[in-house]
A and B are shown apart, each in its own frame.
Chain A
Amino acid sequence: MKPFVRAASFALVAGIAIAAGMSRSALAQDTTFRGITLIGNYDPTRDKISVAVLPVSGAFGDSLRAIVQRDLDFSDRFTILPIEGGDADAARTGGAASGLNYSIFQRLNAAAIVQMTSMPTGVHVALHDVAKGQVVNVGDFALPSAGYSREWRMAVHRTSDEIARWMTGQRGIAATRIAYIRGTGKAAAIRIVDSDGAGEITVPTDENGISPAWHPSGTMLAYSTYGDVASRIVLFDLTTANSRTLTTAPRNTQYITPNFMPDGTSILYARSGENGSDIYAVGLSGSDAPRRLTVGRGSENASPTSSPDGRRIVYVGNSYGQPELYIMDADGTDARLLTEYDLSDKNYRSDPDWSPDGRLIAYQEKIGPNFQIRTIRATGGTPKQLTSEGVNEQPSWAPDSRHIVFTSTRSGVRQLWILDTETFRMRQLTTSSGSRLAAWSSRLTQ
């Protein structure tokens, strides 16, 4: 809860500083941060920039504004100032060359103003720096003519992400999607939902599909199948909606937990058979023989996920008895225990996911009777616990290496939730029970 207080007080302090002409501390000074002037000591991980998004006239204007406001809000790096239609009219009158009355926005503690104008083929965006009293960025963004369509919404998300980049230097994560499994047994199916919870589709999955994983390009999913028909790794092309079998497991063997390598040319997976489970890598062409990476000698090694540079792999293994996290080189050598362990340890650590910036590994660990989400530095050290309410599992990082989507029972049934690991703000992504095994895509360009 503390970060919230801090973020809120920042806006307040910034306002006071402007009004009284004094700073929060002796060291504080006007700081230009990526084009937006901020007053005070700005901490990009905790402080939020106050933004006013002006009403948008024209077809779909209200939806456009609502989506951009929500995207900026969901990024947890902005405070959206509520601007009523009347306020905006007032703001427009008596302004300078831009037509905006900056002093009104200063009194509202706004650091930036997003002004969007509907165009025949899209939207024109102007970003105003309130302290400077001028436009600091402009851009035209194409939008599909079919308003509200899935493609239109994704184009608006990309617009939001670029506006976020103008203000913070870091692109937002609104233009992303999350693949997951909903339901159990024969009713289970792979779904894909936009990062804001809208636009869900069902992937035509072969029966008993599980563990969806995104190709780094965002144009393909991989998943594995289990059960009484031969287990397979299936690739689903999202552009053509075609499925193809990459590899079929031999009798008495299951293929589980597929994950793409960051260069997108090969896939990691575990082959689970009568001599335990070992991790393999195979090229997407399907013509190369799979390469075995672990020698488990009867233990279970699974859930491989690569570092973003493709040089190391974190996975779960139980060669010491209980499931623990290990890191090895991408060729399978030099495997080392990542999570701390002693012989009396009856712990259970699994489902690792390496953050896109390479710094952290998120995973689940039994804390008392329930799994909770933790992060640990890829170099090891003391883990940080991120959840405590209900059962929390299966973390997957957003491309900003700050947000995590995971499965939680905090509402009573399994749902997907999104956590900001900096402010600990939580939001519910799905509303249909039995949602699980989420995988967050890269930033999508189409």
Chain B
Amino acid sequence: MTATRRFAGLTAALLSVTLIDACHKKAPDQPAPAVAPAAGPNADSARRAQEDAARRAAEDAARRRAADSIAAANAAARDAAAAAAALRTTLTAMVHFDYDQSDLRPEDRAILDAKVPILSANPTVMIRVAGHTDERGSDEYNLALGQRRASSVKAYLVQHGIAESRVQTISYGEERPMAQGTDEGAYYQNRRAEFDITSGPQTLRKP
């Protein structure tokens, strides 16, 4: 790309030097054109100018084509990145739980259902499910409850065809609250399972 552009620049520079040179040489000893001189030099320069214009047009067109294809590629890349980000967002979307429960609610099953085709289309992706609780239970017993929540999520994914070995489960209990506060709003945000992609390609393939 750079080489092509530099070459084009160089060609243009050489051409203009030639033209200036030609004018410069002819100017001093050019007499009044009493007699029509041979058509040679004028026709020659006209032809040269035509060729030059054609070349320039071709070069411009090539440049435009290159720019267009770059823009197109960029747009495609942007779209792909957006799509991959969307896939990633879907894959890492949290699910929530009722108080002291590890059962999956219908709306959270839908969130997990959306992950299944992405995991199927990207068989090298490994994920980690971290179970969390609100602060109302026992600090220590909540580590067990967090584990149960992560396990319940994993069991659902495995039931839907995801290999057991691709899903790791851990628990944080109540040790990593998402929201501070002692109201149901904060508690709800904290009773969750989080998803991390622990390995796999940078760009996720669309199902």
The answer to whether A and B belong to the same complex is yes
Task: Identify which of A273, A303, A350 contacts B151 (C-beta below 8 A).
Answer: A273
Q: Please report which residues of chain A, range 231-282, place their CB below 8 angstroms from some CB of chain B when the two chains form the complex.
A: 231, 251-254, 256-257, 270, 272-274, 276-277
Q: Quick one: given A252-B168, A273-B147, A274-B155, are A394 and B175 in contact (CB under 8 Å)? A: no
Q: Bound complex: CA of A211 vs CA of B139, how far in Å?
A: 9
Shortest C-beta distance, A441 to chain B (Å), equals 19
Q: Which residues of A contact B191 (CB under 8 A)?
A: none
Q: In the bound complex, how far is the Cα of B143 from the Cα of A274, in angstroms?
A: 13
- The bracket for how many chain A residues form the interface is 35 or more
A228 in contact (CB, < 8 A) = yes
Contact in complex: B170, A227 (CB < 8 Å):
yes
Cβ contact within 8 Å between B144 and A302: yes
- Interface residue tally of chain B, by bracket? 20 to 34
A188 contact set on B, CB distance < 8 A: 175
Q: Is A348 an interface residue (CB 8 A)?
A: yes
B144 neighbours in A (Cβ, 8 Å):
254, 256, 270, 272, 276-277, 300, 302
Please, which residues of chain B bring their CB within 8 A of the CB of A254?
143-144, 147, 170-171
CB-defined contacts of A129 to chain B, threshold 8 Å? none
Instruction: Please name all residues of chain B whose beta carbon is closer than 8 Å to the beta carbon of A303 when the two chains form the complex.
Output: 138, 140-141
- When the two chains form their complex, are residues A274 and B138 in contact, meaning their CB atoms are under 8 A apart? no
Interface membership of B172, Cβ < 8 A: yes
Judged by a CB distance under 8 angstroms, whether A159 is at the interface is: no
Cα A350 to Cα B137 in complex, Å, equals 9
| A296, closest chain B residue (CB) | B144
User: Which residues of A lie under 8 Å from residue B154 when comparing CB positions?
Assistant: 252, 274
B128 within 8 A of A: yes
Interface positions, chain B 57-101, Cβ under 8 Å from A, are 100
Residue interface bits B172-186, CB-to-A below 8 A is 1, else 0: 110111000000000
B 126-150 contacts with A by CB, 8 A: 128, 130, 137-141, 143-145, 147-148
Assembled-state Cα–Cα distance A228/B173 (Å): 12
Cβ-closest chain A residue relative to B151:
A274
- Indicate whether A306 reaches chain B with its CB closer than 8 angstroms: no
> Are A185 and B148 in touch, CB under 8 angstroms?
no
CA distance A277 to B138 in the complex (A): 15
Q: How far is the CA of A302 from the CA of B137 in the complex (A)?
A: 13
Chain B residues, CB < 8 A from A185: 175-176
Known interface pairs A273-B151, A274-B151, A364-B138. Does A226 touch B145 (Cβ–Cβ under 8 Å)?
A: no
* B143 in complex: contacting residue of A256, A276, A436, CB < 8 Å: A256
B172 to chain A, nearest CB (A): 6
Structural contact, A437 and B141, CB atoms closer than 8 A = no
Q: List 30 A-B contacts (CB under 8 A).
A: A185-B175, A210-B139, A210-B140, A210-B175, A211-B140, A226-B143, A226-B172, A226-B173, A227-B175, A228-B130, A231-B170, A252-B169, A253-B147, A254-B171, A256-B143, A257-B140, A272-B147, A273-B147, A274-B169, A300-B141, A302-B141, A303-B140, A323-B137, A348-B138, A351-B138, A351-B140, A364-B138, A393-B138, A436-B139, A437-B140
Chain B residues in contact with chain A, CB under 8 A? 100, 128, 130, 137-141, 143-145, 147-148, 151, 154-155, 168-173, 175-177, 196
| A residues neighboring B (CB under 8 Å) | 184-185, 188, 208, 210-211, 226-228, 231, 251-254, 256-257, 270, 272-274, 276-277, 300, 302-303, 316, 323, 348, 350-351, 364, 371, 393-394, 436-437
